[in-house]
């Protein structure tokens, strides 16, 4: 099944400051701040919601179709996508713009100062879902405001079930607008903070939202995730990672697992476990697209997770007895 991934493509420039911001920012001088941080360590990563989700779907041997807008500086990213056999047909270059990018400076306490330039992402409404053929499933991930509205409406008009994933774009919309997205969507995916914000803006409860879609997915980091579907609540445990290196892109990896499971017609516990496996694989690698596993390796990890869960349940039952 061809899965349309509507979202951002971005470069992430990460710089590491070898001290603490608080040692260099004087509280009584905030009104006249003029400071320079020496950052001897720097790296540039490929990112963006659409790029990250598509990359993880490809690892699962899914069939992602990226729809995004990019700038004149995108050539190195194009090469990366082609090296990983990711389709670029619906990635539109906007002349005279930069690709969206984040400049992130991190100190020794893991505090961050981030500057984000949306660039070509703001023109994502120049793409149309109607131009993509044979799409069976879609996701509307964080992107330009106008484009998110347009692509959700076009998916709805074409009868393409889509997952609404507002992410960091959620503050752009008021309650009425978010309700409209929910009414059109087949699935809604948010983290626990975004879930609370969504409830505050719409005045709905989690059960209210779940009743309007096929499934509501709420991720909770190390506490796992919860899937509200079929009138039931599925608690999905977190999968322990081999090591915790970098959480950047974990949510996108999780969503790729969900989309793959939905496309296969799997039940929600299976979809949720696969999504958790994808998140655990990602967090063990620096950057959002540097983990490289075959589908067979992912399947082996998933199988081991099932064995571990069964063993844990057996031990718990024996303890209670």
Distance CA 100, CA 74 (A): 10
Q: Which of 12, 107, 165, 252 is catalytic?
A: 252
Distance CA 305, CA 91 (A): 36
Distance CA 167, CA 24 (A): 32
Q: Which residues, in sequence order, are CB contacts of 119 under 8 Å at separation 6+?
A: 71, 97, 98, 99, 100, 101
Closest CA to 257 of 60, 40, 33, 50: 60
Distance CA 87, CA 233 (A): 36
Strand-pair category, 135-140 with 162-164? parallel
Cα angle at 278 between 103 and 119, to 5 degrees? 25
List for the chain the helix, strand, coil content (%; round to 5).
45, 25, 30
Distance CA 163, CA 138 (A): 6
Q: State the DSSP H helix or E strand holding residue 187, giving kind and residue range, or none if neither.
A: strand 187-191
Residue 252: active-site member:
yes
Closest CA to 225 of 196, 198, 192: 192
Distance CA 22, CA 224 (A): 33
Q: Which residues have a catalytic role annotated?
A: 252
């Amino acid at each position: 099944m061809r899965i349309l991934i509507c979202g951002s493509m971005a470069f992430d420039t990460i710089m590491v400051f070898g001290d603490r911001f608080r040692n260099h920012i004087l509280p009584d001088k905030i009104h006249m701040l003029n400071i320079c941080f020496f950052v001897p360590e720097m790296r540039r990563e490929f990112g963006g919601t659409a790029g990250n989700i598509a990359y993880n779907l490809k690892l699962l041997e899914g069939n992602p179709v990226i729809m995004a807008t990019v700038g004149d500086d995108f050539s190195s990213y194009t090469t990366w996508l082609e090296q990983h056999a990711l389709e670029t047909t619906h990635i539109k270059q906007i002349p005279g713009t930069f690709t969206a990018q984040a400049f992130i400076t991190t100190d020794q306490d893991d505090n961050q100062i981030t500057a984000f330039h949306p660039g070509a992402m703001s023109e994502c409404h120049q793409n149309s879902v109607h131009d993509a053929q044979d799409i069976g499933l879609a996701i509307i991930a964080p992107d330009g405001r106008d484009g998110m509205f347009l692509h959700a409406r076009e998916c709805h008009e074409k009868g393409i079930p889509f997952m609404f994933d507002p992410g960091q774009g959620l503050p752009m919309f008021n309650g009425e607008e978010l309700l409209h997205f929910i009414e059109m969507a087949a699935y809604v995916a948010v983290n626990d903070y975004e879930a609370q914000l969504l409830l505050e803006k719409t005045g709905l409860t989690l059960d209210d939202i779940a009743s309007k879609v096929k499934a509501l997915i709420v991720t909770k980091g190390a506490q796992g995730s919860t899937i509200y579907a079929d009138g039931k609540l599925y608690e999905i445990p977190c999968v322990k990672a081999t090591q915790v290196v970098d959480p950047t892109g974990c949510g996108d990896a999780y969503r790729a697992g969900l989309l793959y499971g939905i496309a296969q017609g799997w039940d929600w516990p299976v979809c949720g476990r696969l999504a958790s496996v994808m998140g655990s694989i990602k967090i063990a690698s620096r950057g959002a697209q540097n983990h490289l596993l075959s589908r067979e390796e992912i399947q082996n990890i998933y199988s081991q997770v099932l064995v571990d869960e069964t063993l844990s349940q057996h031990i718990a039952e024996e303890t209670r007895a």
